[in-house]
Amino acid sequence: MTRVLINGIDGPLGARVATMLSAEPGVTVIGLGRETPPAPVGRAEWLEAVLNGQQLLALLRAEEIEVVVHLAFVGAERPTPSREAAVQQNVLGSMELLGACAAAGVRRVVLRSHTGVYGANPLNPAFIDEARPVAVGALRGLLRDYAEVEQFVAEFAARHPGLAIVSLRLAPLLGGWSPIVRYLTETGPRMLAGFDPCLQLLHFDDAAAGFVRAALADVRGAFNLAADDTVALSQAIRLAGQQPVLVLEPLVRVAQAIGNDAILGHWPYDLSFLRHSCVADTARAKAELGWTPAHSAVAALQALRAGGHAGTDPKTSEARLRAFLARRS
């Protein structure tokens, strides 16, 4: 019997992972989220609460959790309220979670990350494997949060060899709300004139299947997950049912210099990703996880076009944790 905690079961991806894990024999799933899950969660039991490090440790020990799947990143599945809130939850919250896992004797932690942590620059190889360092200094927003967590993970894993840490670096996700979905579905998504970089994408179900495999496999380290096909950015926009709007890079830079990002609309990443490609090699995930994407990027974009978009009060968390553990005892 494997006991799994999903931190972030209140997001669409967490709910889907919970459903898939529930279908696995010999797996017990516990969920933790700040809100009610937005979709069925299979056989999983879940707790709606915001827990600090000591409360997390108490939950992990009481439930004898062996594997933690960490998906609770602000800005990944709903808009970011503020950079301060995002850093607090994404970076500091991940550090606190890892510390609790190590103290509780958890065997494996599977973290959500992003292929964008490699950065986009003209020196990138055609296919980037997991050995390439993350590019913290060249990133901003959610991608920077992922990269900072990965830097911390590298140091933390070296100090805690008994805890296997897995980072799943997902290509931009198509399903539910995501930064790339917001961009692709706005009217006239912006592109830089003279540039049309290659884009990797990942279907929602293929991402969930990757987390299920990583939770149950005897692996550690980073794995890239992406659809097998790549598309040009302009092609992705048209497949999603929109027409790209070209803007001049000097105009964008002037606007950004005066604090106006509106000219780029909802483009979610750094400006470099509108100029250069960032294409990840998924060979390791296929060989070691046995993971293969079931959906192409083109099919996922067509589903998006068809309409298939493939908070808790912290003061109540202590009482909810006690009540949850009492029900379980």
Q: How confident is the model at residue 48 (pLDDT cuts 50, 70, 90)?
A: very high
For residues 153-159, average pLDDT: 96
Helix (H) or strand (E) run with residue 305 in it? helix 297-305
The pLDDT of residue 42 is above 90: yes
Helical packing angle, 204-216 and 12-22, nearest 10°: 50
- The 10s digit of each residue's pLDDT in 186-210 is 999 999 999 999 999 999 999 999 9
Q: Is there a domain that residue 128 lies in?
A: yes
The pLDDT of residue 325 is above 70: no
Range of the domain at 52: 2-175+203-227+280-293+309-328
204, β-bridge pairs: none
The pLDDT of residue 217 is above 70: yes
Q: Is there a domain that residue 299 lies in?
A: no
Number of domains in the chain: 1
Exposure letters 75-87 (e unless 16+ CB within 10 A, then b): bbbeebeeeeebb
Token output for 234 = 């302009």
For residues 72-79, average pLDDT: 94
Q: Is there a domain that residue 300 lies in?
A: no
The pLDDT of residue 316 is above 60: no
Contacts of 97 (CB under 8 A, 6+ apart): 7, 53, 56, 68, 70, 109
For residues 73-98, average pLDDT: 94
The pLDDT of residue 133 is above 50: yes
| pTM: predicted TM-score of the whole model, two decimal places | 0.92
The pLDDT of residue 312 is above 80: no
Residue with tokens 């589903």: 303
Q: Is there a domain that residue 242 lies in?
A: no
pLDDT at 319: 57
Residue 36 amino acid letter: T
Q: Is there a domain that residue 171 lies in?
A: yes
For residues 214-219, average pLDDT: 97
The pLDDT of residue 310 is above 60: no
Token output for 274 = 């509108």
Q: Is there a domain that residue 264 lies in?
A: no
State the Cα–Cα distance between residues 209 and 227, nearest whole angstrom.
13
Q: How confident is the model at residue 178 (pLDDT cuts 50, 70, 90)?
A: very high
Quote the mean pLDDT of the chain.
Answer: 93
Query: Which CATH number goes with the domain that contains 94?
Result: 3.40.50.720
pLDDT at 175: 84
pLDDT at 315: 45
Q: Is there a domain that residue 255 lies in?
A: no
For residues 3-32, average pLDDT: 97
pLDDT at 327: 59
Exposure letters 192-219 (e unless 16+ CB within 10 A, then b): beeebbebbbbbbbbbbbbbbbbbbbeb
Q: Is there a domain that residue 314 lies in?
A: yes
CB 214 within 8 A of CB 284: no
For residues 59-70, average pLDDT: 98
